[in-house]
Amino acid sequence: MGGTFDPVHLGHLCCAEQVRDACALDAVLFLVAGTPSFKRDLAVTDAAHRVAMCRLAVAENPAFDVSALEAARPGITFTVDTLRQLHAHYPENVELAFIVGADAALALPEWKEADALAGLAEFIVMSRPGSSLAAADADRLAQAGFRIRPVAPSALDISSTEVRRRASCGQSIRYLVPDAVRDYVLAHKLYRKGDS
């Protein structure tokens, strides 16, 4: 599952678990984007913090893991590079599926090397409140060569943007993020007004 995870929240975890279950996945790897391609003009929290929070968030789920592969790679994060690295790392018989929200999936044809990307994994597209993959969108992606598997988890209406907004004005983020992530945000004074 790819994302900026700034910070990881319960919407991510809840969806990842439901997708794992629905698609009978052996494991879900949280890939923390170093410099996200479509957010490169935004101030994104240091990848080390985002990776650390993801590690805390997944600690209790043996089927979840976190990869700092993208965070360690210099330059803009492109999924095509990540999937190539993962294919090189895992045995040939391991099948990879990339989990992504419907909002992000709509732009798949504009991702770097879209033609090559389409051949490297199946794309599991999760609907989220306010964003789902219409049949016409799924057809358009299929025509562009993408193997799409739509999944509709009973998603939580949580976004990292909302978590950051609340944290920035000292509002509670309890029950929006795991307790350990909340403690981390407070301890490291992340997302406070005036900080970036």
Ligand X SMILES: Nc1ncnc2c1ncn2[C@@H]1O[C@H](COP(=O)(O)OP(=O)(O)OP(=O)(O)O)[C@@H](O)[C@H]1O
| Residue 79 contact among ligand NCN, ligand X, none, beta carbon within 5 to 8 Å by kind | ligand NCN
Residue 31 in contact with ligand X, rule: CB under 6 A: no
CB 112 within 8 A of CB 77: no
How many CB atoms are located within 10 Å of the residue 196 CB?
A: 10
How near is the Cβ of 175 to ligand X at its closest, in Å? 13
Q: How far is the CB of 170 from ligand NCN (least distance, A)?
A: 25
Binds ligand NCN by CB under 6 A, chosen from 16, 28, 33, 185 = 33
Is residue 176 a contact point for ligand X (CB under 6 A)?
no
CB-based contacts of 159: which residues, under 8 Å, 6+ apart?
9, 11
When CB distances are held under 5 to 8 angstroms depending on the partner's kind, the choice from ligand NCN, ligand X, none that residue 86 binds is: none
- Structure token digits, residue 56: 């805390």
Contact string 96-115 vs ligand X (x = CB under 6 A) = ----xx-xx-----------
Residue 30 φ/ψ, nearest 5 degrees: -90, 115
CA dihedral 31, 72, 52, 120 (to 10 degrees): 10
Taking the least distance from each CB to ligand NCN, the nearer of 45 and 77 is 77
Answer whether 25's CB lies under 8 Å from 61's CB: no
Give yes or no for residue 143 binding ligand X (CB under 6 A): no
Query: At residue 136, what is the residue type?
Result: A
Residue 39 lies near ligand NCN (rule: CB under 6 A): yes
Count Cα atoms within 13 angstroms, Cβ side, for 122: 12
Q: Which residue is nearest to ligand NCN (CB)?
A: 2
Rounded Cα–Cα distance for residues 136 and 128 (Å): 17
Nearer residue to ligand NCN within complex by CB, 33 or 155: 33
- Residues of this chain that bind ligand NCN (CB under 6 A): 2-4, 31, 33, 36-39, 77-80, 100, 104, 111-112
